[in-house]
């Protein structure tokens, strides 16, 4: 573990008193000639699957985002700002200042979204300098401690750690590491929790990270707002997306208004961005591609930064900027040095924010997802397919990427491809994902979902892809198995629970769980058919709903520290199949 990371973890144990001492002794200084002795607060707002074109200011005639339009006009606007093609990679890069492949993240599910615990996040650095740190929304860089927000530098977390959540009304989220029930609409709920955090910490510097879950699917929003957009003649899916975008707009309005009321506007840097291109075919400024694409439309998003009284209003920056730049930029603005042990990829945007852009050096920006990649410089974008098919676009002459110029500009094509290959070799991640850590006092109960396990035999996922909240089906034979890799960090007694459903005709299967060289065997009890939670969809999501699953306890095993394979199989199947498997829970018990 890096020295800074150790320091951050120690601070969490030592409590807030150490933070306050550091605040009073370590970070009070003048900032850019201003009289204040307090470093700026930081609010980072990021929406999920909201594309470049999902704003009125970006020439969309159908969507209504008056607050964000005004915020953009009062901010420094980056017109060429890039993120990753999908959400978990963007979040890892944003928080670390490093290309996501370096952080261990290489996808969005099956534990490919988990960021290495050794990564030092923006929250950890600011926390070590006395900042209060809070995260309110979607995390998606690891579900369990120490990969979750509480293990990566956030004092307080309200939200969900998976890539999606099935309901946006009256649902189940986490407060720190505990599962809790919430009431109301998630976007409003996250805003309210963020406001409470801001009000509680208004006398000290704070980092407030608000990664909203909308407009990611499912399409769930208040009916009047949904109907409002349907009346504009928009298809139902897009109407729901635009309605959810408007909920963000109104909630950002609540945040900005409260900052004004608390006299915090000139003390707070407010950053707004989105995590990737639009999650569907809709208006996107004429760009090619959408979410998951390495073309402009999949990765070019808004970045608006406001620090009232410090940055110019309505300034447009055309230089290339990237999500890896947020980390060093925020630290520069807070006058917190980047720890010397950290190797980051981003560069500080501070000169551009103050209009000191004459010395800005040109650069190449890279992206990658699912075998496809691209490289962008001030003029060209080269895309590279899984099978190394190259396409070169002149984005000044052809911003919609209609014409491949690779055959007429071969020198430029080959040069950019060489840069891309060198970069990809440099950032390539290890092949294995980290094991799930079990036995931390901070989180004694760990859930191993079927989607993070390895299936063998006849097992398959209900919805094919194994995304969050999916489960395993087709459990037909004793040869069928599901397994997980865990790391027990503390010696103790661990109770194992299975989440399952089984029909009456398939009752009585005998199952076993093996952890290392220890095994528990028991017979599954009575039939259980889970009922779905209430459905608030405005548009049918086209896949099964979130359900309540049955917990079946196998009993307890005493485990010593070490790395183990957890394996679940059937010993005897009296019916046609065992049933369906949602996951396994391991609980550290006295």
Residue that wins the pLDDT comparison between 294 and 464: 294
Same domain as 168, residue 147: yes
Residue 15 has pLDDT above 80, yes or no: no
For 462-503, write each residue's pLDDT tens digit.
987 888 889 999 999 999 999 999 999 999 999 999 999 999
Q: What is the pLDDT of residue 392?
A: 98
Q: How confident is the model at residue 32 (pLDDT cuts 50, 70, 90)?
A: very low
Same domain as 499, residue 386: no
Residue 30 has pLDDT above 60, yes or no: no
| Residue 420 covered by a domain | yes
Mean pLDDT of 195-202: 98
Same domain as 245, residue 112: yes
Least confident of 6-20, 224-238, 333-347, 462-476: 6-20
Q: What is the pLDDT of residue 37?
A: 53
| Residue 574 covered by a domain | yes
- CATH number reported for the structural domain that contains residue 450 in this entry: 2.60.120.260
Same domain as 194, residue 126: yes
Alpha helices in 358-438 (DSSP H): 410-427
Give rounded-to-5 percent helix, strand, coil for the chain: 25, 25, 45
With beta carbons less than 8 A apart as the criterion, state whether 163 and 467 touch: yes
Residue 433 has pLDDT above 90, yes or no: no
- CATH number reported for the structural domain that contains residue 284 in this entry: 3.40.720.10
Domain count, the chain: 3
| Residue 187 covered by a domain | yes
Same domain as 249, residue 340: yes
Same domain as 337, residue 387: no
**Owner of token pair 């865990």:** 486
CA-only gyration radius of the chain, Å? 25
Q: What is the pLDDT of residue 548?
A: 86
Nearest to 95 by CA among 40, 149, 47: 149
Same domain as 471, residue 582: yes
Q: What is the pLDDT of residue 464?
A: 77
In degrees, rounded to 5, the angle at the alpha carbon of residue 204 between the alpha carbons of residues 201 and 207 is 70
Q: Average per-residue pLDDT in the chain?
A: 92
Q: What is the pLDDT of residue 9?
A: 40
CA pair distance 9, 128, nearest whole angstrom: 9
Q: Is residue 207 packed enough to be buried (19+ CB in 10 Å), middle (13-18) or exposed (0-12)?
A: buried
**Residue-number span of the structural domain to which 467 is assigned:** 436-589
Mean pLDDT of 377-395: 97
Same domain as 507, residue 386: no
CA pair distance 84, 392, nearest whole angstrom: 19
| Residue 12 covered by a domain | no
Pick from 353, 380, 407: which residue ends a domain?
353
- CATH number reported for the structural domain that contains residue 420 in this entry: 3.30.1120.10
Q: What is the pLDDT of residue 24?
A: 33
Q: What is the pLDDT of residue 532?
A: 86
With beta carbons less than 8 A apart as the criterion, state whether 587 and 497 touch: yes
| Residue 25 covered by a domain | no
Same domain as 474, residue 380: no
For 405-430, write each residue's pLDDT tens digit.
999 999 999 999 999 999 999 998 77
Pick from 380, 402, 427: which residue ends a domain?
427
Q: How confident is the model at residue 28 (pLDDT cuts 50, 70, 90)?
A: very low
pTM: 0.93
Same domain as 505, residue 562: yes
Pick from 410, 427, 444: which residue ends a domain?
427
Q: Is the dihedral of CA 82, 87, 92, 94 positive or negative?
A: positive
Residue 62 has pLDDT above 60, yes or no: yes
Same domain as 382, residue 470: no
For 136-145, write each residue's pLDDT tens digit.
999 999 999 9
Same domain as 246, residue 105: yes
| Residue 21 covered by a domain | no
Q: Determine how many CB atoms are found less than 10 A away from the CB of residue 513.
A: 21
Residue that wins the pLDDT comparison between 530 and 513: 513
Residue 132, strand partner residues: 206
Mean pLDDT of 320-344: 96
Q: Is 147 helix (H, G, I), strand (E, B) or coil?
A: coil
| Residue 210 covered by a domain | yes
Residue that wins the pLDDT comparison between 441 and 526: 441
Q: Is 113 helix (H, G, I), strand (E, B) or coil?
A: coil
Q: Determine how many CB atoms are found less than 10 A away from the CB of residue 183.
A: 8
In DSSP notation, 13-63 reads: HH-HHHHHHHHHHHS----TT-S--SPPEEEEEEESS--TTSSGGGT-SS-
CA pair distance 506, 478, nearest whole angstrom: 14
For 146-197, write each residue's pLDDT tens digit.
999 999 999 999 999 999 999 999 999 999 999 999 999 999 999 999 999 9
| Residue 333 covered by a domain | yes
């Amino acid at each position: 573990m890096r020295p800074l990371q150790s320091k951050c973890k120690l601070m969490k144990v030592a409590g807030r008193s150490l933070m306050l001492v550091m605040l009073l002794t370590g970070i009070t200084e003048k900032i850019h000639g201003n009289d204040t002795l307090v470093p700026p607060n930081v609010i980072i707002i990021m929406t999920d699957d909201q594309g470049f074109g999902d704003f009125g200011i970006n020439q969309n005639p159908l969507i209504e985002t008056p607050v964000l339009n005004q915020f953009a006009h009062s901010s420094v606007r980056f017109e060429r700002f890039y993120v990753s093609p999908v959400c978990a990679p963007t979040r890892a890069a944003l928080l670390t200042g490093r290309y996501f492949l370096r952080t261990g993240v290489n996808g969005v599910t099956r534990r490919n979204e988990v960021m290495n615990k050794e990564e030092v996040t923006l929250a950890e650095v600011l926390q070590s300098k006395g900042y209060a740190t809070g995260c309110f929304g979607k995390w998606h860089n690891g579900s369990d401690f120490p990969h979750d927000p509480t293990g990566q530098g956030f004092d307080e977390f309200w939200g969900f750690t998976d890539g999606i959540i099935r309901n946006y009304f009256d649902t189940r989220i986490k407060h720190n590491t505990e599962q809790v029930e919430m009431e109301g609409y998630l976007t409003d709920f996250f805003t309210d929790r963020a406001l409470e955090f801001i009000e509680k910490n208004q006398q000290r510097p704070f980092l407030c990270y608000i990664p909203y879950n909308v407009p990611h699917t499912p399409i769930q929003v208040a009916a009047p707002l949904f109907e409002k957009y349907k009346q504009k003649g928009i298809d139902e899916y897009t109407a729901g997306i635009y309605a959810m975008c408007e909920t963000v707009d109104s909630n950002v309005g609540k945040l900005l208004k409260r900052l004004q009321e608390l006299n915090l506007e000139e003390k707070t840097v407010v950053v707004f961005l989105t995590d990737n291109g639009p999650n569907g075919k809709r208006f996107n400024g004429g760009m090619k591609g959408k979410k998951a694409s390495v073309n402009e439309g999949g990765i070019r998003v808004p970045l608006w930064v406001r620090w009232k009284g410090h940055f110019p209003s309505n300034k447009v920056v055309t230089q290339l900027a990237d999500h890896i730049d947020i980390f060093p930029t925020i630290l520069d603005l807070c006058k917190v040095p980047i720890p010397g042990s950290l190797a980051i990829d981003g560069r500080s945007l501070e000169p551009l924010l103050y209009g000191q852009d004459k010395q800005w050096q040109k650069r190449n920006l890279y992206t990658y997802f699912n075998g496809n990649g691209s490289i962008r410089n001030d003029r060209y974008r080269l895309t590279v397919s899984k099978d190394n098919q190259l396409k070169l676009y002149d984005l000044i002459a052809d911003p919609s990427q209609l014409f491949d110029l690779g055959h007429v500009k071969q020198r430029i094509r080959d040069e950019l491809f060489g840069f891309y290959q060198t970069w990809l070799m440099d950032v390539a991640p290890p092949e294995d994902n980290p094991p799930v850590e079990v036995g931390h006092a901070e989180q004694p109960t760990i859930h191993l979902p079927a989607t993070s396990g390895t299936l063998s035999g006849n097992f398959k996922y209900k919805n094919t892809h194994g995304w969050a909240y999916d489960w395993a089906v087709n459990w037909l034979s004793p040869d069928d198995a599901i397994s997980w890799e865990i790391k027990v960090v503390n010696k103790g007694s661990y109770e194992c629970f299975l989440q399952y459903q089984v029909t009456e005709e398939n009752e009585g299967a005998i199952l076993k769980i093996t952890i290392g060289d220890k095994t528990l065997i028991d017979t599954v009890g009575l039939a259980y058919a889970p009922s779905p939670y209430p459905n608030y969809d405005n548009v049918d999501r086209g896949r099964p709903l979130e359900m309540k699953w049955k917990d079946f306890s196998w009993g307890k095993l005493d485990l010593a520290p070490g790395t183990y394979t957890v394996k679940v199989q059937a010993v005897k199947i009296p019916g046609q199949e065992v049933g369906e498997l949602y996951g396994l829970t391991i609980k550290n018990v006295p």
